[in-house]
Amino acid sequence: MSAGTPGLDPALRSWVDSANDPACDFPIQNLPFGRFRRDEGEELRIGVAIGDRVVDLEAAGLFPHQQMKQLLRTSPFERRALRHALVEGLQHGSPQRGTLERALLPLASVQMGLPCDIGDYTDFYVGIHHATAVGKQFRPDAPLLPNYKWVPIGYHGRASTINASGAAFRRPVGQVKPPDSDTPVLRASARLDFELELGIFIGRGNAQGEPIALDGAEDHVFGLALFNDWSARDLQAWEYQPLGPFLSKNFASTVSPWMVTLDALEPFRRPWQRAAGEPLPLPYLDGEANRARGAFDVHLEVWLQTAQMAAAGHAGERISRSSFADAAYWTVAQLVTHHTVNGCRLEGGDMFGSGTLSGPLPDQAGSLLELTAGGKAPLRLPNGETRTFLEDGDTVILRASCEREGARRIGFGECRGTVLPAPKM
C-alpha cells in the first residue's frame, strides 16, 4: 500500500461505532463518496459513508461546494488532502468529533441518488471468461474474435437511462426475430438478463487531441462502483449486427450510490499479467507500474430475489460470485489510455462499464445467459422456482467487497434493481 495514502492502517478505529464492525462495508479505511438528499425535492448533496452514517461534507466544513463535478475535477493531491481531513476528524479520539457529529445523518434516513451526473457512458467488454462463454454459444470453434486480445472492446452507451440503485424499470419492448418466422415482430423482451459489472468514474478529464498516457491514467479515475447493465438478449440477437447493441441495452442500467476511491482500494492491488502464450499488449498499453499493481482484487456477488421470495420476507439467494482481478483481461488504466489514444476527450463524471465480470467456472457467471446456457439449462432456486431469464417482479442485487490479510475489509454497498412489467402497447 502507498505510504502517502492516509487512513489505511487496519488498526485505525472511528468514534462512529458502527464503522468498527468487521462486517461493515464502510469503515474509516473506505470513505466512499456519493450524493444524497434528506427530503424529496431537495438538491442532492455530497456525502461520505462511514459505518451506518453519512457525512454531509458542506455541513462539516470540509468541502464548500455541493456540486460533485467540482470534486471530481480536483487533483489527486487535493482529493488525498480531503481524505486526510476526513480520517483526522472521524478517527477515535479526534478533537473534531463535535463538529463532524453535527454533520452526520443516518444512512437509513436519506435518499441516495446517482453518485454524480453521468455525462458520457462507454461500456467495455473486458471479461474474457464472459466473452469466451458467450462466443462459444455462437462460434464454438472460435469464440473470441481476432481483435479481442489486442483492443479493449467497447461501445458508446446511453447515460440518460442509468438509474440509481433501488429504482425499478419496465421490461423493454423492441423488435424480435422469432426463429420460425421470416419477419420480425414488436413485443416485450422474453429474455431479459442482468450483467455483473463495475462502473469506473472519471475525475479529471483531458483536452481533445491529448491522449492520456498509461503511467498517468489512474490520476484521471475518481473511483469504482457496482454496475448492472441490463440486457434484452432477444432484442440483442436481432439488432447487434453490424453495429452492436442498441435498444437491447439502452433501456436501463443501474449503478450503486457510492464511488470507492482508488486510495481506499490501494491495499487490494494485484499484479496484472497475461497467461503464458497470451500476446503482450502494444507498447502504449504496457508498462512496469501497470504490470506490478494494475489489477484490483474486488470480490463480486449476484443475488436474486424473486417476487415470491419478497412476499415471503426472504432476502434472496446468491446465484453467482466472481472476482474483478480474475475476470478482467484489461486494467482500469488501460481502458482510460485506450479510450483517449485517438484524441477522445473525457470529462469529469464520464463513466465506463467494465463489461460482464464472469469467472472461469460455470457458477461464477455474471449473467443468466451463461448461468443457463442461453436458456437451455434453467437455474433452479432453493424454493423450487426456476429461471432461464428474468421475470417481472425479480430483483437483482449486486454486492462487492475487498478482503485480504493485513488490511481492513471494505465494501461497495449494493446495486439493486427490480423488473416491472412492460408498458402496454
Q: Which residues are catalytic?
A: 130
* Cα 221 to Cα 76: distance, rounded to the nearest angstrom: 9
Among residues 112, 110, 86, the alpha carbon closest in space to that of 100 is found at: 86
Give residue 195's identity as a one-letter amino acid code. Answer: E
**Rounded to 5°, angle at Cα 377 from 375 and 382:** 110
State the SS3 of 171-189: CCEEEECCCCCCCCEEEEC
Q: At a CB cut-off of 8 Å and minimum separation 6, what does 394 contact?
A: 304, 305, 306, 307, 387, 418, 419
* Cα 240 to Cα 238: distance, rounded to the nearest angstrom: 6
76: enclosing H helix or E strand: helix 76-90
Contact by Cβ (8 Å): 347, 204: no
Among residues 322, 293, 373, 329, the alpha carbon closest in space to that of 128 is found at: 329
Backbone phi, psi, residue 335, to 5°: -65, -45
* Cα 172 to Cα 238: distance, rounded to the nearest angstrom: 14
Helix and strand tally (H, E) in the chain?
10, 26
Among residues 93, 101, 95, 79, the alpha carbon closest in space to that of 31 is found at: 79
C-alpha cell of residue 282: 502494444
